[in-house]
A and B are shown apart, each in its own frame.
Chain A
Amino acid sequence: MAEVVLAYCSSHAPMMSAARDSAPEEQRNNFFNALGWIQQEAQARDVQAVVVLANEHFTNFFLENFPQICIGLGERNWGPTEAWLPIDKAWIPGHPGLANHVARETLASGFDPAFSHLLELDHGVMTVYHELDQTMQLPLVPIVQNCAVQPLMPVRRSYEFGQALGAAIRSYEGLQRVALVGAGGLSHWIGTPRVGDIAEDFDRWFLDKLESGDLSDVLDLPDDELELAGNGAHEIRSWLAVAGAVAPTPAKTLAYEPVYPWITGMAVSHFATPSAPG
């Protein structure tokens, strides 16, 4: 059976790749050093595949049909879609075995994820995936979530989906060592008069909740309250799914930097999961 041998969450922002040096040196060093540590852990734990949850930015879906969750089942997916993102455009290998198993098991658990045999991956997945594996050869199962178009899946439901996702990964017999990543958030505003603002108080509160392991206040958040940390804050759904997948393991914040040039509260949190299957 597989085990989640590495679980972490990271903010994503296109500027972390496209305008890396626009961030103050100390901030970017803290952020990327945390991701560097994660990369070393992935190598040390000999990760065989990675599941990345990130939000949909109208890259694959539009208003005709907008799934709350979509699992990438394909043998490969394309990314990054943004021509200006300085990451090589490539076909990223998928893992149909794991992805189909996750889809079947989460369906059996009472969720109704959509699926796609070909996803286009934007900065939401690609910035974080590329920091994990610059060769972009690590098999990737992308799971895109609706964090932008109302009505949204409640945050509690995202956490519960994560619980089902974690169980699904751990019941897969085709691999032994899987990494699980939540990519998105934290606070930020896009396409509004507050673009560029960061709600540091929200970010620190949320990270503290993840470290405490008591997420009850977070899971009760209605969307209109969560939006007070920015319309981009809805992306914490990816973080909560990972937290649910590895519960009750609490997170440890490896880095938090409010990077104003990247218009986002940039954090990396790690969950100390087993280093090998039991």
Chain B
Amino acid sequence: MGAPRVEPTYGLQTAPRREVPCRDLVTGVDDDVSLYQLQRCVWDSIRAGQVSGSTKRAFDVDSYDLTEDEKQAVEQADIGRLYQIGLHPVLLNGFCRASGFSRNEYRDILEAFAEPEERKARWQK
């Protein structure tokens, strides 16, 4: 039996769901989710609310292979959890705006995860 066929996305509205788990060749663990799926889910959710030509895009959170934790974070707009999971900051920013958070509100949430910066850049005296 060959490898499972993965349909190309070519402009599809949502990412293709995997019908079988993918085995991590290093750990040997079946990994049926990926950070990519979360990134794609959030991206699609943001774009669903944006103007494109004269149409809006469709969005269905169940069409992505998310863990329960990830799905809950998206559905509940749990900004802190999405940051912890590793959602790309540009997507996080757009998701916050789309979810009705002001910048101050989401900064207040994220400040709990701030880490001190010890490095100095060449422009810093």
| A residues lining the B interface (CB < 8 Å) | 57-58, 62-64, 78, 80-83, 89, 120, 148-149, 190-196, 201-202, 205-206, 217, 221, 225, 228-229, 231, 263
> Are B91 and A58 in contact (CB-based, < 8 A)?
yes
Report yes or no: B51 in contact with A81, Cβ–Cβ below 8 A: yes
Assuming the A-B contacts A78-B53, A81-B52, A195-B103, are A228 and B88 also in contact, with contact meaning beta carbons closer than 8 angstroms in the complex?
no
Q: Is the CB of A190 within 8 A of B91?
A: no
Q: Is B121 an interface residue (CB 8 A)?
A: yes
Is the pair A201, B52 in contact by a Cβ cutoff of 8 Å? no
Contact indicator B121/A191 (Cβ below 8 Å): no
| CB <8 Å contact, A120 and B52 | yes
A228 to B116, CA, bound (A): 12
Across chains A and B, which 4 residue pairs bring their CB atoms closest together, nearest first? Answer: A191-B89, A193-B114, A205-B123, A191-B92
- On whether the beta carbons of A217 and B122 are closer than 8 Å, the reply is yes
On whether the beta carbons of B121 and A58 are closer than 8 Å, the reply is no
> Are B107 and A195 within 8 A (Cβ)?
yes
Complex interface: stretch among B25-33, B35-43, B63-71 = B35-43
* Given known A-B contacts A82-B50, A202-B123, A205-B123, A195 and B43 have beta carbons under 8 A apart: no
What is the bound-complex CA distance between A120 and B49, given in angstroms? 14
- Let me know if B125 is at the binding interface, CB within 8 A: yes
Interface of chain B: mostly helix, strand, loop or mixed: helix
Smallest CB separation, B87 vs chain A (Å)? 8
A120 to B89, CA, bound (A): 21
* List of B residues within 8 angstroms of A120 by Cβ: 52
B52 near A193 with CB under 8 A, answer: no
Residues of B within 8 A of A (CB): 9, 36, 39-40, 43, 46, 49-53, 83, 87-94, 96, 103-104, 106-107, 110-114, 117, 119-125
Which residues of B have CB within 8 Å of A63? 36, 39-40
Q: Which residues of chain A have C-beta atoms less than 8 A from B83's C-beta? A: 191
B49–A83 CB distance below 8 A: yes
Determine if A58 and B89 form an interchain contact, defined as CB atoms under 8 angstroms apart: no
Q: CB-CB < 8 A to B92: which residues of A?
A: 191
Q: Which residue of A lies closest to B120 (CB)?
A: A228
Contacts of A89 in B (CB 8 A): 51
Complex: A21 Cα to B119 Cα, angstroms = 36
Beta-carbon nearest neighbor of B91 in chain A: A58
Contacts of A263 in B (CB 8 A): 103
* 10 A–B pairs (Cβ distance < 8 Å), ordered by A: A58-B94, A78-B52, A81-B50, A191-B88, A191-B93, A196-B103, A201-B123, A201-B124, A225-B122, A263-B103
